[in-house]
Amino acid sequence: MTYMSGNSKIAVITGGNGGIGKSIAKSLLRDKFSVILGDLKNEVVDTAREISQEMSGEILGMKVDVTDFLSTVEFFKNIKEQMPYGKVSVLINNAGITRDSTIRKMTYEQWDQVMKVNLYGAFNCTKQVVEDMIGNNFGRIINISSISRYGNRGQANYAASKSGLVGLTLTLARELGKYGITSNAISPGIINTEMIATIPADILKDYEKKIPAGRLGTPEEVAEVISFLCSDKASYINGEIINVNGGFFF
């Protein structure tokens, strides 16, 4: 077992292989956090290694299936073994998938897969960190919602899961605020990541024309908002849903 060296500020990011996850990791490394990237794909180990070669700081990639409660138990147990000197002070519930289809064609499996990753995954991971955050009288829980939470054609499953994250965020803010823990959500618009590869080019171009900013967002722009929310400067921001969308709503 190779232990990381001793930074007590530990941030955990799920969905670590994605564009937003990687950008968050880089921002928090810059902010002097030790970072754990979690993802279902084994490639997350290589992702963390590549980031460590690019930036100074401590970062590890670990496999986790956020849909499986016992997998998240083991994941956070491994984090404690790797970092026995500190506790998780920041949790970014970023894992998310799409399985787009109109409601008439959507299968139960498509609905179930999206809900389990996007919503159940956030619950499973949050359960693993809450007690340590309470004991430390400090915590930052940030859920990655979406502009689709308002509803979007072909995304009944995705919209429901991202709207559910808003409800989870607000409830955590009410329940945990007295323990020095803040709970907020980021609601990205159309961000230039691999996830938008499923959007037909003509539809994407139409969306881009409707964005007041005149362009797609970048993962780095999302990450910078999260960086602020993780800081001491954001200690009085709790229960907020922050849009990062260039002024665009469907």
In a domain, 228, yes or no: yes
Give the pLDDT mean for 157-183. Answer: 98
Kindly name the residue from 120, 158, 179, 207 that is annotated as catalytic: 158
106-to-41, 85, 99 alpha-carbon distances in Å: 25, 47, 9
CATH number reported for the structural domain that contains residue 139 in this entry: 3.40.50.720
**Number of structural domains, the chain?**
1
Judged against a pLDDT cut of 70, whether residue 234 lies above it is answered with yes
In a domain, 249, yes or no: no
Q: Is residue 150 among the annotated active site residues?
A: no
Over the stretch 52-82, which tens digit does the pLDDT of each residue have? 999 999 999 999 999 999 999 999 999 999 9
Mean model confidence pLDDT for the chain: 94
In a domain, 248, yes or no: no
State which residues form the domain around 101: 9-243
3-class SS of residue 101: strand
Judged against a pLDDT cut of 70, whether residue 93 lies above it is answered with yes
In a domain, 3, yes or no: no
Please say whether the beta carbons of 62 and 37 come within 8 A. Answer: yes
DSSP 155: B
- What is the rounded CA–CA span in Å between residue 153 and residue 45? 35
Please say whether the beta carbons of 35 and 28 come within 8 A. Answer: yes
In a domain, 1, yes or no: no
46-to-52, 59, 60, 195 alpha-carbon distances in Å: 10, 11, 9, 20
Q: In this predicted structure, what is the pLDDT of residue 6?
A: 53
Share of the chain above pLDDT 90, in %: 84
The pLDDT-based confidence of 46 (bands split at 50, 70, 90) is: very high
- What is the rounded CA–CA span in Å between residue 141 and residue 47? 23
